[in-house]
Each structure stands twice: as structure tokens, then as C-alpha cells.
A and B are shown apart, each in its own frame.
Chain A
């Protein structure tokens, strides 16, 4: 009887593992498929292991398209957003977390409310604004709005709420200004939060599509996703080997950033999405 029970327990465990592994394989499969196709000919049949792996397509894409420029553009865009956003966001997050002034909650809610807006709803006025500022085809048009990040403010404020006020008070007694406290005490203490927001913003903006597509109208100015999406509907659409190689180049940087910061990213996202309940 006891033995029967143990046997049953193990059996259900195995089933659980099998289901979880199947879903893991499904999740990995498109990425794996991409690698295989990019390395080998996509003939009449598909093989799970590349028979004659070759990297021709990876070399070809840099010759046949403006991939080099796209990579540089995307690195400049996503890189500068992820660096600058943490300073701007933390600068406002500090008084929102620790300050004591009228309208604090109002400002916070105002800033956060932008999370609710679908980007497609403001794409046309943004396009108009950038046209007026003369920033069409300019990476600045992507970077400037990118660093204004409600998610960054939210996560940073949440983190700063947990910093004990005593530390700040003793600095105040020593005669530090608020900006001095922010720069010398708050920022170093918030390093984990800064890194999380940086990583999140890098992934988000590297992957951004609609807005860059609208703003960047010269192919040499494209970001990687915009460039690949465009050629995929154009001359290289039928060349699956080349398209797969291009896609690998596009997803690799963000996957690496994710794997490196995955603990912080998951914690940050859980914090953000659960916020609706706790308030």
C-alpha cells in the first residue's frame, strides 16, 4: 500500500517534469530553428542538426545589407537610453520617495499614468513634434522620449522607499544639500535598481519597432529590427537562411543582457505588475 503510494507520487512527478520540459522545448524551438537555418541550407527537408554548418550567411548579410549601420544605430540608441534614463528617473524618484511636499502623490500618479497609453495612440502627434523639431531620421528623436520612463521612475521609487531615512537625516545634519545626498548616498545605494532599469530599458528599446519605423525614413538610419522587418518584406524575404542569420544577430544582444540580469529583471517586473494590487 505504502509502496503503491510512493510509486504514484513519482509517477505524477514525472508527468509534471515531462509537461514542463515539453513547454521549455516549444519555447526554445523557434530560436533553435533560427540557428539551424542560419547555419545551413534550407532545402527540401529539415534536419535537427546542421549537417554542413557554414557561416556564409552571417558574412553575406553585412555585404548585402546595411546591417553594420543598423547595429551601430541600435547600440547608440538603446545604449544611450539605458544610461541616461537611470539618472533622469532616479533624480525625480528620490523626492517622490523621500520628499515631503505638496502634490507629491499627484506628480507620481501623473508620471505613472503614461504607462496606460498605447504607443500607437500618440504616434502621430509624436511624429508631428519630431518633424517640427527637425529630428526625423535622427536618433535623438528616439533617445529623448526614451529616457522619460515611467517604469524607471516607478521601480526606482519603490527601491528608494526601502532606504532607511536615518542615513539621509544624518547626512542632512552634516550639512549636505539634497542634490549632494542624491548623488553621494542615494545613487550608490540604489545600484541594483539602477542596473535593473538599465537592463530593462536596453532590452525594451533595442526591440522597439513601430516608433523607430515611423521616425527613421532612410534605410541607413534604421535600427536592426526595423531594417530586418523591412528587408523581410522586400528582396530577401524568400532567402530564409539569410533572414535567420539576420534574426540571430538581432536577438542575441538582448538575450545576453537578459540572461545576465535575469534575476533582477524578473524581480523588477513582478514588482511593477503587482503594484496595482498593493496600493
Chain B
């Protein structure tokens, strides 16, 4: 009974994974529009040697790391606060979570296009700023584009984190809070002494989800900035697409893909290590 799936798994998942590694030692280029391909040619470690000195690779790695750090910080802060507020015996919690979760159902690339319209120089955000008598801001200009992309990503993903964090919060037995408030502990003390320590495992899971989400950020950037202006919002995944399917250096792009995979693997490994040492005890 396992067989049908495992056949599909071998062809469409396992084989490409292995082939990704093999291809990264090859040079493979396509014709215009990918219409004609040359055979992949073995070049050893040449692709990897080229990566180290590729300035655009370094830039895209740098952008990816900047996005990761700012995104994880902002997203965690917002989703933790929202989840904590929702946990305060609020009425209609499910209406709020449904609304927060809606962005998850929308295509990131489409929301990127929408965000491009909203954050445009003549877009609605600047219109609001002008209405309030504030100076308009060039959100998608060279200085701010990367930050604006992070804002759009937070919009896209924070509801997902809220739902997961809230599930963690609701799993904490209310007896603990009752005991604490009999002992005279205030709300803030309760959050600091009970909620946060007990939430730690879920919080760590959320942190890693956000990290991986940021590492893979591509769709929303394509819709919003197309990697620009210049290369200001070029990320690693975007660079893979660009090298592979715009300039058709498929072997080289694949080697960058292997690097991306190694980064994801490292993150997953660290996650296992950290979670392995934290257990939930109520």
C-alpha cells in the first residue's frame, strides 16, 4: 500500500534532491527562452568557486539575512502580543483569529502586487500621510524597499503565528493562573513567571517557522519589487530564479540552490537541538 506514494516520492522528490547535488557540479546553460539546451558539462567545483567571489550572491545572502532578522523580530513581537491579548478571555476570539488568518489564504505574489499599489509613491499610504500633514515617504525606493518588503511579509504571516501561539497559550492549565492570583501575583507577573516559560517550546517553533519563511521569501518580492530597485531586495531564492531562468545559467543557479538547502538544513538541525532540550511540564 505504500508503493504508489513511494514511487511518486522517488521520481518527483528523492530523485530531484539527488540530481540537485549532481547538477551543482555541472555547467548547464539553455538557449533563448529555454528553447534549446546544451548537455550539462562536468566542471567539478567551479560553480562553488564562483559563488564565493560573486558579489551579487554575497548581496543576496546579506539581504536574506537582514530580512530574516528584522522579519523574525517584528513578526514575533506582534504575534506574541496579539496572542497574549486574545488569551485574556476575550469574546469572539474566533472572529479575530479568522480575520488575522485570512492573509494565509491569499497568494503571496498577488499580495505583493497589491502592496506595490498600496506603498507606491502615489499610493494610499502616502495619501494618508499627506492627509495627516506628514511628508510622503518613498516606500519602494532604494533606502526603504527592503524594510517595506518585510512589512508586507509580516502582514502575510503574523496571523499564522498568532494561531499557533494561541493554541500554545490555551494549553496552559488555568489552575496555574488561579493559584498565582490567590498568591497575589498581578497580570504582568503571571505572564512573566507562568505564561512565557511554559510557552517557550511553542515560541521556539514559531521562531523557526518565521526563520524558514524568511529564508524562502520569493513570491511576495516578485510581486512587490521584482528584486529592485537595482538589487536592493534581491534575496537568495530570487537570485536562484534569476540566474536559472532569466540568464539561463542553470548549473550555477543549482549550486546556489544547494547552498540554500544547506542553510535550511542547518536551521532545522539547530531547531532539533534546542527543542530536544526543552520539554513541556505543566
Interface residues of A (CB under 8 A from B): 13, 16-17, 19-20, 23-24, 26-28, 30-31, 33-34, 37, 45-46, 88-89, 91-92, 94-96, 99, 107, 110-111, 114, 116-129, 131, 136, 144-145, 147-148, 153, 178-179, 182, 203, 206-207, 209-210, 213-214, 217, 224-225, 228-229, 232-233, 240, 243-244, 247, 250-251, 254-255, 257-259, 262, 266, 269-270, 273-274, 276-277
> A121 touches which one: B1, B206, B219, B260 (CB < 8 A)?
B260
- Across the interface, do A125 and B19 meet the contact criterion of CB distance under 8 Å? yes
Instruction: Give B residues with C-beta under 8 Å from A.
Output: 1-2, 4-6, 8-9, 11-13, 15-17, 19-20, 23, 33-34, 37, 78, 81-82, 85-86, 88, 90, 96-118, 124, 127, 155, 159-160, 163-164, 167-168, 201-202, 205-206, 209, 212, 215-216, 218-219, 222-223, 226, 236-237, 240-241, 244-245, 250, 253-254, 257-258, 260-261, 264-265, 268, 271-272, 275, 280
Q: A120-B218, A120-B257 are in contact. List 10 more A-B contacts (CB 8 A).
A: A16-B85, A88-B8, A116-B268, A117-B261, A122-B20, A124-B250, A127-B245, A255-B106, A258-B101, A266-B101
Task: Specify which chain B residues have a CB less than 8 angstroms from the CB of A122 in the assembled complex.
Answer: 13, 16-17, 20, 257
Do B20 and A125 touch across chains, with their CB atoms under 8 A apart?
A: yes
A149 to B202, CA, bound (A): 24
Asked if residues B114 and A258 are in contact (CB atoms below 8 Å), the reply is no
User: Which residues of chain A are within 8 angstroms of B240 by Cβ–Cβ distance?
Assistant: 120-121, 123-124
B98 vs chain A, min Cβ distance (A): 6
B107 touches A251 (CB 8 A): yes
What chain A residues lie within 8 Å of B206 (beta carbons)? 273
In the bound assembly, the distance between CA atoms of A210 and B8 in angstroms comes to 21
- Could you tell me the distance between the alpha carbons of A148 and B6 in the complex, rounded to whole angstroms? 9
Contacts of A30 in B (CB 8 A): 111, 114-115, 118, 155
Residues of A within 8 A of B201 (CB): 277
* A6, chain B: closest CB distance, angstroms: 16
> B163 and A232: CB pair below 8 A?
no
Closest 7 CB pairs of A and B: A258-B105, A207-B107, A125-B19, A92-B5, A121-B261, A125-B16, A145-B12
Q: B2 and A107: CB pair below 8 A? A: yes
Which residues of B sit under 8 angstroms from A37, Cβ to Cβ? 117
Complex alpha-carbon distance, A233 and B160, angstroms: 29
Query: Across the two chains, which residue of chain B brings its CB closest to A152?
Result: B5
Tell me the minimal C-beta distance from A22 to chain B in angstroms.
10
Asked if residues A269 and B82 are in contact (CB atoms below 8 Å), the reply is no
Residues of B with C-beta under 8 A to A125? 15-17, 19-20, 23, 254
Cβ contacts under 8 Å, B5 to chain A: 88-89, 91-92, 111, 148, 153
Residues of B within 8 A of A123 (CB): 240-241, 244, 257
For the residues of A in contact with B, the DSSP-based class is: helix
State A210–B163 Cα separation when bound (angstroms). Answer: 26
List 22 interface pairs A-B (beta carbons < 8 Å), by A numbering.
Answer: A16-B85, A19-B82, A20-B86, A23-B100, A24-B99, A33-B114, A118-B212, A120-B260, A121-B20, A125-B16, A126-B12, A148-B12, A179-B1, A209-B107, A213-B241, A232-B223, A233-B226, A250-B110, A251-B106, A258-B102, A273-B205, A276-B275
A residues less than 8 Å from B116 (CB atoms) = 232
Inter-subunit contact B1/A182 (CB<8 Å): yes
CB <8 Å contact, A118 and B105: no
A247–B112 CA distance with the chains assembled, in angstroms: 10
Asked if A92 contacts B6 (CB within 8 A), the reply is: yes
Pair B105/A209 contact, Cβ less than 8 Å: no
In the complex, A208→B155 CA distance in Å?
Answer: 18
Residues in A neighbouring B107, C-beta threshold 8 A: 206-207, 209, 224-225, 250-251, 254
Q: Are B110 and A228 in contact (CB under 8 A)?
A: yes
Return A246 CB to nearest CB of chain B, in Å.
8
Chain B residue numbers with a CB within 8 Å of A258 are 101-102, 104-105
